[in-house]
Amino acid sequence: MKKLSQHRYLQGVYRTLVDEAYAAEKIRLKGDLPSKDTWRREINLATTQKYSTKEMNQSTDFDAVALELAMIAGNDTWINKIIQSAAKRYRYNIQQFIQDLEVLTAKEITWAYVQGICKQANYSTSIMDCPVEHLEMLSTHVRRLAKKQGLSLKDLRSSYSRKEDNPAVAKAKWHHDHHHHVTHNQEEAVHA
């Protein structure tokens, strides 16, 4: 059996939620609605500032429009799935930045370190209250440290994680390449 691509799966979810939400709105507004296609595009624009799902990214944009549709439809199952998915992705991104910071600073990075960065910017130090700006701030910090050390972002561990579906494979490839890079640079220094 052929596995559906992520995009096709999300399109199916989106269409199902559009159907449910449109039916709920039609009842609520006693049929006074534009066509389903016009209505869903209005929801897309209002939620993501993008007209079509083809223009949306598969995470934040999709989450935003799907959550809006699920709330209109009163579909608690999808509301919970979307919220849990976004929280899981958020935690994963923070973990990726922590791994990169560990490489760049050559020390173990804890949540307390991240809290310190956030506190300096007057953001909440609670992971439950983290705004998206936390990720942007961590990303900026990682880029600044990488530039200072003359490293490319593609050499960081998080870059390998984005390329591989299997985290163990990504970690192994990064360790192999990182070790090779360090060994190669040491050999060049000896021969210079």
Q: Do 66 and 90 belong to one domain?
A: no
In a domain, 67, yes or no: yes
Which of 25, 52, 74 delimits the end of a domain?
74
pTM of the model: 0.61
> Residue 91 has what pLDDT?
77
Chosen domain end from 16, 50, 74:
74
The pLDDT score that the predictor gives to residue 160 is: 64
CA atoms of 152 and 147, how far apart (whole Å) = 7
Where does a domain end: 54, 74, 94?
74
Per-run averaged pLDDT (10 residues), the chain, 192 residues? 70 93 92 90 92 83 90 92 82 82 85 78 62 71 84 72 58 60 44 48
Domain extent, residue 21, equals 6-74
Instruction: Looking at the structure, tell me whether residues 49 and 65 fall in a common domain.
Output: yes
| Amino acid identity at 137 | M
- Confidence (pLDDT) at 172: 66
Q: What is the pLDDT of residue 169?
A: 62
67 & 94 share domain: no
Q: Is residue 158 part of a domain?
A: yes
User: Can you give the pLDDT at residue 183?
Assistant: 43
pLDDT value at position 171?
60
Shared domain check, 161 and 127: no
Q: Which of 104, 73, 100, 111 is nearest to 160 (CA)?
A: 100
* CA distance linking residue 149 with residue 101, whole number of Å: 12
What pLDDT sits at residue 166? 56
Q: How many domains does the chain have?
A: 3
Q: Helix (H) and strand (E) counts for the chain?
A: 8, 0
pLDDT recorded at residue 131: 61
Whether 17 maps to a domain, the answer reads yes
The predicted pLDDT at position 168 comes to: 62
Read off φ and ψ for residue 31, nearest 5 degrees: 80, 0
Same-domain status, 13 and 56 = yes
Q: What angle separates helix 111-120 from helix 132-148, to the nearest 10 degrees?
A: 100
- Nearest alpha-carbon partner for 60 in 22, 93, 37, 95: 93
* pLDDT given at position 185: 44
